[in-house]
């Protein structure tokens, strides 16, 4: 076994790898960018080395700096985690050339499976079923459009490199192909440095099922059962579970054998995931699944496999990289109960799941039997705009699927995240969704149920806002009680004295960016608060910070602060033509010129955040009066992008 490991990653996966490494007696070595100098993964390791500026292409994606750090620390091996350079064959080769073991497959296997088009061709030769479509070298737009027509709509355009839904577009009509291809290629180029795509038939009732495989250097290969990753949004996994609902033992054996054959076809070694698309219409069945791709690394969702098998997959990775044989044979691998994982993100489901950055004012998770939490941040840390906005993974394990989902939903509802917004409430609703519980779901389930899951504008939670005002009132009274020189404010009098009737105050507050009036009535029993006729929510958690109160209720966050009329921007009054950045990000393109006429809903700019593109549209008909940013600029959330003068009334 190795004596030391450099973890070439960050966040929760770096923390998770460090836990197993320490248990095995390895010295743990972290790397960090300037933005991560105080990060949890740095604090979790025995030592840490700086590798450059915050942007990943200048730090975590610079192989030479990682190799240099490993040499300086005397690391025996490098574990790449997932993302970044984990599936980079050149990095794996650089490790070998430097005399440092890469905890992963050999470079040749990464190359063989790293490009989806070549991988599909290889699988066809190995007898593994693949989705019909085009995965050749020709990339001329007219040719690809013709191949899409021949394949039959709907089709998927997919980047040949990378994954995670980036560079992927579904196209339902021939007329929409050109725009979708352009967007997919641009996103693929930005994310992976490779604009090439493939075309494949879109399966009508798709289920995304993957097999966890392991292979050693002695010719042995096994599968560790399947995971169902069908609950997706924008082709990115949201909830994963093991085993797959409706999976029979016979079909598991067939899919497992196909996955093992795929690994053996490329001389695989280490942990890998063979991903299949299955036709869920009428239930899972033989002849109804096809190879999509192979991820030559550990997966984000590996904990559900660990839960049902009782194994530590990172330990297996270390042992195989050290030259040991697989610890178990196929018939020794168990399947115990059911496990489900939810990815808790700093994002706002009510605003199109836009990333939400900033300081974590509070972060706390429940502690329950059968619940595991993997996180790379703590309260006080900052969710940076430079990296994936994952806060944590919550994994629930129980004897049955219903019990596991109940346990997960309960945990999500009890999770406290304040500061950045999170998808906790959305995930809890998803875990409790009736159709999902019945097994009636596919990859399009979330899009089809957005409204009932809370993925749309829900409006102000007035009871939560009232709870926030109540805490602001309590804070002010506490301040006045200890500060004799405190400046008078509308909160000063806490008694019920008035010559006649009930004394009341109407106070302007800001609740989730909305100006509202809070009513404070003073009676014999003290002060009572209401917003829009609703009193404080009894089931809410209120957290005070930064002259504001964050109220958490049913997984939603409501930020409440006193409204300072003197500081309001008069310029925004009635500024229906103001286009602001919805999140911190980079301006990829401004699609209009100053003076140009635009129509409501027209695309005017593209901003990239967390490696995903977000299109800004014109809110009104009119003419572009001002362009405040340029392509390539970094913008903060809320920053002015451009303004549109309303069209003159005729």
CATH number of residue 543's parent domain = 3.30.700
Domain boundary among 103, 128, 152: 103
Question: What are the phi and psi torsion angles at 210 (to 5°)?
Answer: -125, 150
Count of alpha carbons within 13 Å of 43, Cβ hemisphere only? Answer: 9
Ranges assigned E (strand) in 464-525 = 503-511, 514-523
In a domain, 197, yes or no: yes
In a domain, 115, yes or no: no
CA–CA separation, 522 vs 535, rounded Å?
A: 14
Domain boundary among 566, 601, 634: 566
Q: Say whether both 466 and 454 belong to one domain.
A: no
Q: Is 457 a catalytic residue?
A: no
> Which residues are registered as beta bridge partners of 158?
168, 198
Q: What is the pLDDT of residue 122?
A: 87
Helices 11-23 and 313-321, axial angle in degrees (round to 10): 70
> In whole angstroms, how far apart are CA 501 and each of 253, 302, 367, 533?
78, 64, 49, 19
Domain boundary among 103, 123, 148: 103
> Which residues are registered as beta bridge partners of 644?
624
Which pairs from 144-147 meet CB under 8 Å and 24+ separation?
144/177, 144/181, 144/197, 144/199, 145/174, 145/177, 145/178, 145/181, 147/199
> Which residues are registered as beta bridge partners of 503?
522
pLDDT in tens, 287-328: 899 998 899 999 999 999 999 999 999 999 999 999 999 999
Question: What are the phi and psi torsion angles at 532 (to 5°)?
Answer: 60, 30
Q: Say whether both 216 and 329 belong to one domain.
A: yes
Question: What are the phi and psi torsion angles at 50 (to 5°)?
Answer: -75, 145
Q: Say whether both 575 and 558 belong to one domain.
A: no
Q: Say whether both 351 and 430 belong to one domain.
A: yes
Q: What is the pLDDT of residue 483?
A: 63
What's the start-to-end Cα distance of the chain, in Å?
79
Q: Say whether both 331 and 343 belong to one domain.
A: no
Q: Which two tokens stand for residue 650?
A: 């005729």
Q: With a cut of 50, which residues of the chain have pLDDT below it?
A: 488, 491, 494-500, 565-574
Specify the CATH number for the domain of residue 28: 3.40.50.20
In a domain, 121, yes or no: no
In a domain, 117, yes or no: no
Q: Say whether both 263 and 173 belong to one domain.
A: no
Catalytic member of 196, 297, 421, 556: 297
Nearest C-alpha neighbor of 170 from the set 435, 447, 456: 447
Q: What is the pLDDT of residue 192?
A: 86
Q: Say whether both 521 and 438 belong to one domain.
A: no
In a domain, 418, yes or no: yes
The residue range of the domain holding 184 is: 137-201
Peptide bond before residue 286 is cis, with ω within 30 degrees of 0: no
CA–CA separation, 463 vs 400, rounded Å?
A: 36
Sign for the CA dihedral angle at 71, 77, 81, 82 comes to positive
Q: Say whether both 149 and 244 belong to one domain.
A: no
Q: Say whether both 39 and 94 belong to one domain.
A: yes
Q: Say whether both 427 and 537 belong to one domain.
A: no
CA–CA separation, 133 vs 123, rounded Å?
A: 14
Q: What is the pLDDT of residue 570?
A: 36
CA–CA separation, 178 vs 503, rounded Å?
A: 66
Q: What is the pLDDT of residue 499?
A: 46
Q: Calculate the CA 102 to chain-centre distance.
A: 26
Q: Say whether both 216 and 324 belong to one domain.
A: yes
Specify the CATH number for the domain of residue 640: 2.40.50.100
Specify the CATH number for the domain of residue 142: 3.30.1490.20
pTM: 0.82
Q: What is the pLDDT of residue 574?
A: 42
Specify the CATH number for the domain of residue 290: 3.30.470.20
In a domain, 125, yes or no: no
Strand order across the beta sheet in which 27-32 lies: 47-50, 27-32, 4-7, 77-79, 101-102
Q: Say whether both 418 and 503 belong to one domain.
A: no
Count of domains for the chain:
6
> In whole angstroms, how far apart are CA 253 and each of 175, 249, 258, 390?
42, 6, 9, 34
In a domain, 216, yes or no: yes
In a domain, 376, yes or no: yes
DSSP output for 185-215: HHHHHHHHS---EEEEEPPSSEEEEEEEEEE
């Amino acid at each position: 076994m190795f004596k030391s490991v450099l973890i070439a990653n960050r966040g929760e996966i770096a923390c998770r790898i460090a836990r197993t490494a320490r248990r095995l007696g390895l010295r743990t070595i972290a790397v960090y960018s300037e933005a991560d100098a105080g990060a949890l993964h740095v604090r979790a390791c025995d030592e840490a080395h700086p590798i450059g500026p915050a942007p990943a292409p200048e730090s975590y994606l610079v192989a030479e700096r990682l190799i240099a750090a490993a040499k300086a620390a005397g690391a025996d091996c490098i574990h790449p985690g997932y993302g970044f350079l984990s599936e980079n064959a050149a990095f794996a080769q650089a490790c070998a050339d430097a005399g440092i073991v890469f905890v992963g497959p050999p470079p040749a296997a990464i190359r063989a499976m790293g490009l989806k088009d070549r991988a599909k061709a290889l699988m066809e030769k190995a007898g593994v079923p693949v989705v019909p479509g085009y995965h050749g070298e020709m990339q001329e737009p007219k040719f690809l459009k013709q191949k899409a027509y021949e394949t039959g709509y709907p089709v998927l355009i997919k980047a040949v490199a990378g994954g995670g839904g980036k560079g992927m577009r579904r196209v339902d009509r021939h007329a929409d192909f050109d725009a979708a291809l352009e967007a997919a290629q641009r996103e693929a180029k930005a994310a992976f440095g490779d604009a090439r795509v493939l075309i494949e038939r879109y399966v009508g009732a798709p289920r995304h099922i993957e097999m966890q495989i392991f292979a050693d250097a002695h010719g042995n290969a096994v599968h560790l059962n399947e995971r169902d990753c069908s609950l997706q949004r924008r082709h990115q996994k949201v909830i994963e579970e093991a085993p797959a609902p409706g999976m029979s033992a016979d079909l598991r054996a067939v899919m497992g054998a196909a996955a093992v054959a795929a690994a053996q076809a490329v001389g695989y070694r280490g942990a890998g995931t063979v991903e299949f698309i299955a036709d869920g219409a009428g239930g899972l069945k033989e002849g109804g699944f096809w190879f999509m791709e192979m991820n030559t690394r550990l997966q984000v969702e590996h904990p559900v496999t660990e839960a049902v098998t009782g194994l530590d997959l990172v330990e297996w990775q270390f042992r195989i990289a050290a030259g040991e044989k697989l610890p178990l044979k196929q018939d020794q691998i168990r399947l115990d109960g059911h496990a489900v994982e939810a990815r808790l993100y700093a994002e706002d489901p009510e605003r199109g799941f836009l990333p939400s950055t900033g300081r974590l004012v509070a972060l706390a998770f429940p502690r329950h039997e059968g619940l595991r939490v993997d996180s790379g941040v703590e309260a006080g840390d900052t969710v940076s705009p430079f990296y994936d906005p994952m806060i944590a993974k919550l994994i629930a394990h129980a004897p049955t699927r219903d019990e596991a989902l109940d346990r997960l939903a309960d945990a999500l509802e009890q999770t406290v995240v304040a500061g950045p917004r999170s998808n906790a409430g959305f995930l809890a609703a998803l875990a409790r969704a009736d159709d999902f519980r019945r097994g009636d779901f596919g990859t399009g389930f979330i899009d089809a149920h957005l409204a009932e899951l809370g993925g749309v504008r829900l409006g102000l939670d007035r009871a939560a806002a009232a709870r926030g005002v109540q805490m602001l009132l309590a804070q002010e009274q506490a301040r006045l009680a200890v500060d004799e020189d405190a400046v008078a404010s509308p909160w000063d009098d806490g008694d019920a004295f008035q010559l006649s009737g009930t004394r009341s105050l109407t106070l302007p507050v800001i609740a989730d960016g909305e100006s509202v009036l809070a009513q404070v009535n003073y009676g014999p029993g003290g002060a009572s608060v209401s917003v829009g006729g609703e009193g404080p929510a009894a089931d809410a958690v209120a957290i005070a910070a930064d002259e504001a109160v964050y109220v958490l209720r049913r997984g939603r966050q409501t930020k409440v602060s006193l409204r300072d009329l003197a500081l309001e921007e008069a310029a925004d009054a009635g500024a229906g033509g103001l286009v602001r950045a919805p999140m911190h990000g980079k301006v990829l393109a401004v699609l209009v010129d100053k003076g140009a006429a635009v129509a409501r809903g027209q695309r005017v700019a593209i901003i990239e955040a967390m490696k995903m593109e977000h299109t800004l549209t014109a809110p009104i008909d009119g003419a572009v009066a001002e362009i405040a940013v340029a392509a390539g600029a970094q913008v903060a959330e809320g920053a002015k992008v451009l303004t549109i003068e309303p069209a003159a009334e005729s």
